[in-house]
Amino acid sequence: MIKEKLISPNKLPFLQSQILQIIYIDISLNQKTSLENIYKVTDYKPNSKILNDAIKALNTKKFLIGDLDKGYAIPEERLGLFNSIIKKNDYVHKIYSENILSLEYSNRRRKNKLHNKTTLFNNDNHSNSTISQYNNGGICHRWYNYLEDFPYYLIEEKIKEYGLNESSLIVEPFAGSGTTNVSSKMFNIRSYGFDANPLMAFISEVKTNWDIDLTTFKKEVLRISKKFLKDIHHFDTLNIDKDFLDKMPKKELNQWLSLGLQKEVVLLKNHIKTIKNKGIRKLLLLSMSRSALDASFVAFCPGTTFYPFRDKDEFWDIFTDKVVEVYNDLIKLQQLNIDFKDVQIINDSCLNASKYIEQKSIDFLVTSPPYPNDLEYTRQTRLELYLLDFVENMDDVQQIKRKMVKGSTKLIYKESNSAEHIKKFKSVMEISDLIYEQTKDKNWGFDYPRMVREYFGDMYLCLKEFLPLMKEDGHFLLVVGDQTIKGVYIPVCDILIEMANKLGYSEGKKELFRIRRSTGHNVDLPEEIVILKK
């Protein structure tokens, strides 16, 4: 007899996977699952047909035996899945590593070969270490890497190529996770960074603050870690602030974090908030939020997808390693005894740069701006935006989106009007018309033509904003990739150079950086460095 092939849990729609975890956890606690509990967790109404169909489907797909009235049992062939789900969510009986109490890396780092040292307390000789080695090795950069970051070495290369020094000023119009600003500080060059997303501004700010009292840091890490390890097993009896758990929409929260992980994160955040030293508190909040992201269901590829049954490392182990990594990096930097130049990170659109920077003061700008690829970057940072209190509702999210360069249809609003500035550019209008022809008879993609116009309108304003702020012979480098939309090729680099020439930049050229492959079309897409000179 041929054995029936089981449906993989990874094939379940998210609602079904969520309900399955609720029921499995209830079974482990010897309690009956109620429809009321399911709709409270999932945020669906109890009379929802979608909800009830999802519950029934778990029986049909042989993940459960029974029903809500009589109770559920687990099919023998699903016991392995049951055990793995319970192990992840059982914070009551879970054994949490205590390595952080001696500031040692967790066992996962040795197991995964993530680091060849298990402790920070050894007598490393830094005499042969250089800033270049630190920069290329990811010191500080690695505290929070962003999906679209360019490599650390690029900034160092350009600093040397363009003869920048301690008297120079570098500006990063789209700071992201601070790659440009961290590298600039490493080489002791003053810099500004702009980002409309408050999370990214926070990340860049924290990663460039190295003036941390490490004795106090260690004491606070030990204090909050002891509290967490003591309290987590009794979480359900604690009277704590539910914080982001009560603010982030339930359906979205549950997409990102398992039920057990939600409790671990909110407990740790409560303890971190008691730290009085602002710099240390921010460092640990950064470590916590990055650890939550790494332990979450999310995968960026390059969109935002959720895999609730993908094996991930434990949140507490990730946090332990992140804290030790931060501590280790700060030790190395402070042993250099360098009076590093200031970095100013500004949470605002770079289109407002003239409010913060004097005219004719910038020596060098370098950035990797958003591309017209329909990626909506607040979606990728949604968890941390709520987790770190930058937003409390979707209205707050919308306010951030309104300030961003419109490389996505989801960033365009009725009042958006940057497209008015590029009507004189025939190249942009022709591309917009070609995309319209490809989408006019379809139910999707109808807003792509406007997205292209708004995107280049915003980039035109960006180039225009910085031109008077640059010194004569100053340079503006943009790492940009050409794109395709519905089979229409968009020569992003060429158009940026065309716009810069129109604005009055004296030179505009490009050099190949690397070749990428279009995910939607079988075509090579060059990623190039646009080089503009005043």
CA 185, 176, 342: angle at the middle one, nearest 5?
A: 25
**Cα gap 80→448, rounded to integer Å:** 46
Give me the DSSP letters along 223-237.
HHHHHHHHHGGGGGG
At 302 the pLDDT is: 64
At 112 the pLDDT is: 58
**Cα gap 343→337, rounded to integer Å:** 18
Q: Shortest CA distance to 452 belongs to which of 486, 476, 478?
A: 486
CATH code given to domain 138-208+341-533: 3.40.50.150
Residue 106 sits at φ, ψ, to 5 deg, of -70, 165
At 78 the pLDDT is: 92
**Cα gap 111→157, rounded to integer Å:** 35
Helix H, strand E, coil C: the string for 165-194 is CCCCEEEECCCCCCHHHHHHHHCCCEEEEE
Q: Do the two domains 9-89 and 138-208+341-533 of this chain adopt the same fold? A: no
* C-alpha dist (Å) from residue 363 to 156, 165, 507: 15, 10, 15
Helix H, strand E, coil C: the string for 42-73 is HCCCCCCHHHHHHHHHHHHCCCCEEECCCEEE
- Which residues 6+ apart lie within 8 Å of 498 measured at CB? 425, 427, 508
**Cα gap 149→172, rounded to integer Å:** 13
Q: What is the DSSP letter of 147?
A: T
Two structure tokens written together for 70: 């009589």
CB 194 within 8 A of CB 353: yes
CA 394, 397, 400: angle at the middle one, nearest 5?
A: 155
**Cα gap 20→41, rounded to integer Å:** 12
At 520 the pLDDT is: 55
* C-alpha dist (Å) from residue 155 to 150, 170, 202, 368: 9, 10, 21, 11
Beta bridge partners, 488, equal 485
At 304 the pLDDT is: 85
CB 510 within 8 A of CB 528: yes
Q: Shortest CA distance to 458 belongs to which of 206, 239, 262, 174?
A: 174
Two structure tokens written together for 304: 């935002």
Alpha carbons within 13 angstroms on the beta-carbon side of residue 195 total 26
Beta bridge partners, 533, equal 475, 507
**Cα gap 287→28, rounded to integer Å:** 32
Two structure tokens written together for 220: 């606070």
Domain chopping of the chain, boundaries: 9-89, 138-208+341-533, 214-336
At 117 the pLDDT is: 41
Residue holding tokens 């150079």? 497
Residue holding tokens 């992003």? 492
Per-residue pLDDT of the chain (534 residues; tens, 9 = 90+): 456 688 999 899 999 999 999 999 999 989 999 888 898 888 888 788 999 999 999 999 999 999 998 899 999 999 999 999 998 888 888 999 999 999 999 988 655 555 444 333 333 443 335 899 999 999 999 999 886 667 889 999 999 999 999 999 999 999 999 999 999 999 999 999 999 999 999 999 999 999 999 999 999 999 999 999 999 999 999 999 999 999 999 989 999 999 999 999 999 999 999 999 999 999 999 999 999 999 999 988 767 888 898 889 999 999 999 999 999 999 999 999 999 999 999 999 999 999 999 999 999 999 999 999 888 889 999 999 999 999 999 999 999 999 999 999 999 999 999 999 999 999 999 999 999 999 888 777 679 999 999 999 999 999 999 999 999 999 999 999 899 988 899 999 999 999 999 999 999 999 998 877 655 556 677 889 999 999
End-to-end CA distance of the chain: 77
CATH code given to domain 9-89: 1.10.10.10
Pairing of the two strands 343-346 and 483-485: unpaired
Residue type, 423: K
Task: Count other Cβ atoms within 10 Å, centred on residue 55.
Answer: 20
CB 303 within 8 A of CB 520: no
Torsion (CA) 319, 321, 325, 331 in degrees, nearest 10: 100
Beta bridge partners, 524, equal 517
